[in-house]
Amino acid sequence: MNEYLRLKKSNCKNCYKCIRHCPVKSIRFSENQAHIVGDECILCGHCFVVCPQNAKEIRCDLDAARALLATGRPVYASLAPSFVADFPGVTITAMRKALQKLGFTDAEETAVGATMVKTRYEEILDSEHPDVLISSCCHSVNLLIRRHFPEALPYLAPVRSPMQAHCADIKRRFPGALTVFIGPCISKKAECDEYPGAADCVLTFEELNQWLSSENISLEKLPDPPETGGRARLFPTSGGILRSMQHRRPDYTYLVVDGPENCIAALQDIIRGDLKNCFIEMSACTGSCVGGPAMGKNHRAPMRDFVYVDRYAPAQDFPVDLSLQPGRLHAEHSFMGLHRQKPGQQAIEEVLHALGKMTPEQELNCGSCGYNTCREKAEAVVLGKADLTMCLPYLKEKAETFSGNVLENTPNGICLLDEDLQIQQINPAACAIMNIALPSDAVGQPIVRYLNPEPFAQVVQTKRNSKAVQLYLPEYKKHVELTVVYDGKYHNLMAILRDITREAEEHARKEAASRHTIEVTDKVIEKQMRVVQEIASLLGETTAETKIALTKLKESLNDE
C-alpha cells in the first residue's frame, strides 16, 4: 500500500480503538505503536475516524493536483455527488466557479459516470441473469472481496466505478485532458493508482477545503441553471443506487447493505449459497458515501446529509452518451489474496495458556485488546500483529498478583483505611502485629479497635503524611515504627507498621548493661577515692589521673 493512511507515531496512546473498529483487523501493534498492515487493509478509514488522538492522517495529494494544473493541459474535476452534504447550500455551479479559480478547466459531477454504471447494472441483470450481483462502486468493498472473501469474486459486478467511468468519459470527450476526482473517500486514492488511464489524481473534500482556504477562495451561493437531469446524484446515500434505477426485475430481490460488519455478513451468506437472484448495493461506509471518512471528523450528520443529497437529485437521469459501449465500462476484479498460513490450533492454545486462559470459560472475550475474541487475539499474537500485554484482564491479574505477593510477603504491616478510619485492606504482617486471626476479621472495622486513632485522625485533618514515629503497643507487647501516608486522589490512608520489637528489646538490654557498668564504675570510683584518701601521700598525681579516667568512662556510658 502506498501509505494512503499514515500514522503519527508520537500520538499513539495504546487505546486499541483502531483495532477494535477495523473490520478486517489489518492493524499490527508493536513497540507501543499501531501500524497499518497494507496488504490486508481495505482503506475504509474507520481507524482514521475513530482515533481519539488523531494519530492517523490521510495522504495529501494537493501537490500532485497542482502539478497537473502546471502542465498546461486541460484539467477537469470530477466532483462526487456527496459534495452537497459536505458543502451545504453550495451548488455545482458554485463549485465549478471555485474550481476554475483554482486553475481547473471545468468541473463536472461524477453522477454522470454513476448514470452509466447503474445503466450497465440493469443491462447485466436483464441479459446475464446472475444469481447474485454486487455493486462495484465502492472500492473498499471491492478490496474486502478481493483480499478477504475471494469466493465472492464471481458475484462482484465487472463494471467500472462511477469515478473511473466519468473520468474516462471526460478524456473521451476532451482528448488530452487530465482528471482529478474529488470526494469523501480514502480508498479512491488507491483505486486511482491501481487503474491508470481514468483519474489522474484524487483529492478528498478536506484537501479541497484546505486548498480553497490557502487561496482565499470562498464558495458563493449561486443557483444552478434549469435541471437537465441528475437522478444518479442519489448514489452517495444508502439505497441511492437502487433509487436511481429506472426499472427492477420482478424476479430479483434488491438489497441495500452498508457498514463493514453488514457487508461481511452478507458476503458470508452469499458464499454459503443462502442468497439467490439478488442485486446487492454494498457500501463499506455506514450511510454510504455521505458517511465517508474524509467528510470531516466533525461532520457526522447522516440524516441531514441524506436530506441534502435527496433534495438535490431530480427525477430525471443525466443525458449520457450511449455510444460509450459496455465494453468500455468493463472492469476486471482480480484476486489480491493474502499468502499467509493461518496459525495452527496448538500455537493458538499456547498463547492462550500464556495469558492464563486454560479453559474456554476463562476466555472472557471482553474486547479490551481490540479483538472480538481471545482466540482471535491469540491468532494475531502468533502472526506477530499483537502481543500479550494488550490483554487488559491479563495485565490486571498480573498486577494484582504482583501487588498481592508484595502485600502477602512483606515483613511490614500494611493497613489501608478510608477517611472514616475504617479498615479497607490489611496484610498478614499487620494481623500478626495486632494479634488478628484473619484479615477478613478486621476489614470494615474502625482502626480504634486495634490502634490509637489519633495519628490517623491528624493525617486526615492535615492531608499530610506523618513521619515515622516509634510506639509501644502494650496490649500487643509490641514496639512498632508507624508511618501514615495520605492518598489525596483516592482519599485513603495507608498505615505502615514496622515491627521493631526485637530492636527495642536489644536496645533495652544494651541500656541495662550500660547502667550496670555505670553502677560498677561508681563503686570503683568511690572505693578508689577512699583508697586515695588513705594513701594520698604515696600516690600523688597517679591517683588523680585514675579518677579522671574512670569519670570519663562513666560519662561515655551515660552518653550511650
Give per-residue pLDDT as tens, 157-213: 999 999 999 999 999 999 999 999 999 999 999 999 999 989 999 999 999 999 999
**pLDDT per residue as tens digits for the range 470-479:** 888 898 888 9
Q: How much of the chain, in percent, has pLDDT values that exceed 90?
A: 55
What is the rounded distance in angstroms from the CA atom of residue 395 to the CA atom of residue 408? 19
Average confidence score pLDDT of the chain? 88
Same domain, yes or no, for 348 and 429? no
pLDDT bin (cut points 50, 70, 90) of residue 35 is confident
Please identify, among 448, 481, 499, the residue that sits at the C-terminal boundary of a domain: 499
Evaluate whether residue 118 is within a structural domain.
yes
Mean pLDDT of 38-51: 90
Evaluate whether residue 286 is within a structural domain.
yes
Give the CA count within 13 Å in the CB-facing half-sphere of 487: 10
Distance of alpha carbon 453 from the chain centroid = 46
Same domain, yes or no, for 256 and 224? yes
Burial category of 360 from C-beta neighbours within 10 Å (exposed 0-12, middle 13-18, buried 19 and up): exposed
Output b/e per residue, 136-168; b: 16+ Cβ within 10 A: bbbbbbbbbbbbbbbebbebbbbbbbbbbbbbb
Top-confidence residue, 27 or 406: 27
What is the rounded distance in angstroms from the CA atom of residue 405 to the CA atom of residue 428? 11
Domain that holds residue 510: 504-559
For the chain, what is the domain count?
Answer: 5
Same domain, yes or no, for 359 and 479? no
* pLDDT at 151 exceeding the cut of 50: yes
Evaluate whether residue 335 is within a structural domain.
no
Mean pLDDT of 483-505: 89
Same domain, yes or no, for 404 and 422? no
Q: Does residue 378 contact residue 369 with C-beta atoms inside 8 Å? A: no
Same domain, yes or no, for 75 and 48? no
Evaluate whether residue 334 is within a structural domain.
no
What is the rounded distance in angstroms from the CA atom of residue 64 to the CA atom of residue 71? 11
Q: Provide the residue type at 361 as one letter.
A: E
Same domain, yes or no, for 292 and 429? no
| Rounded (5°) CA angle 497-498-502 | 135
Same domain, yes or no, for 173 and 280? yes
Q: Does residue 97 contact residue 223 with C-beta atoms inside 8 Å? A: no
For every residue of 316-351, which 3-state class applies, written as one string? CCCCCCCCCCHHHHECCCCCCCCCCCCCCHHHHHHH
For residue 428, give the H/E element and its range.
Answer: helix 428-433
* pLDDT at 1 exceeding the cut of 60: no
> Which strand ranges, in their side-by-side order, compose the sheet holding 178-183?
106-109, 75-79, 178-183, 201-204
- The pTM of the full predicted model, rounded to 2 decimals, is 0.74
Q: Provide the residue type at 478 as one letter.
A: K
pLDDT bin (cut points 50, 70, 90) of residue 537 is low
Please identify, among 298, 329, 360, the residue that sits at the C-terminal boundary of a domain: 329
What is the rounded distance in angstroms from the CA atom of residue 385 to the CA atom of residue 383? 6
**290: nearest Cα among 456, 515, 98, 87:** 87
Torsion of CA 433, 439, 442, 448, to 10 degrees: 20
Same domain, yes or no, for 184 and 276? yes
Burial category of 301 from C-beta neighbours within 10 Å (exposed 0-12, middle 13-18, buried 19 and up): middle
Length of the chain: 560
pLDDT bin (cut points 50, 70, 90) of residue 131 is very high
**37: nearest Cα among 332, 340, 328:** 340
Q: Which residues face 499 on adjacent strands?
A: 480
Evaluate whether residue 138 is within a structural domain.
yes
What is the rounded distance in angstroms from the CA atom of residue 184 to the CA atom of residue 545? 105
**DSSP helix/strand/coil, 483:** strand
**Which CATH number fits the domain that encloses residue 439?**
3.30.450.20
Q: Does residue 180 contact residue 206 with C-beta atoms inside 8 Å? A: no
pLDDT of residue 506: 85
Evaluate whether residue 211 is within a structural domain.
yes
Same domain, yes or no, for 447 and 428? yes
pLDDT of residue 154: 97
C-alpha cell at 72: 498546461
**Which CATH number fits the domain that encloses residue 378?**
1.10.15
Q: Does residue 334 contact residue 163 with C-beta atoms inside 8 Å? A: no
Same domain, yes or no, for 16 and 31? yes
Task: Classify 435 in phi/psi space as left (phi over 0), alpha (psi -120 to 50) or beta.
Answer: left
The DSSP annotation for 260-273 comes to HHHHHHHHHHHHHT
Same domain, yes or no, for 248 and 212? yes
**Which CATH number fits the domain that encloses residue 9?**
3.30.70.20
Please identify, among 301, 329, 357, the residue that sits at the C-terminal boundary of a domain: 329
**pLDDT per residue as tens digits for the range 266-316:** 999 999 999 999 999 999 999 999 999 988 655 668 889 999 999 999 999
Same domain, yes or no, for 127 and 64? yes
Evaluate whether residue 336 is within a structural domain.
no
Evaluate whether residue 269 is within a structural domain.
yes
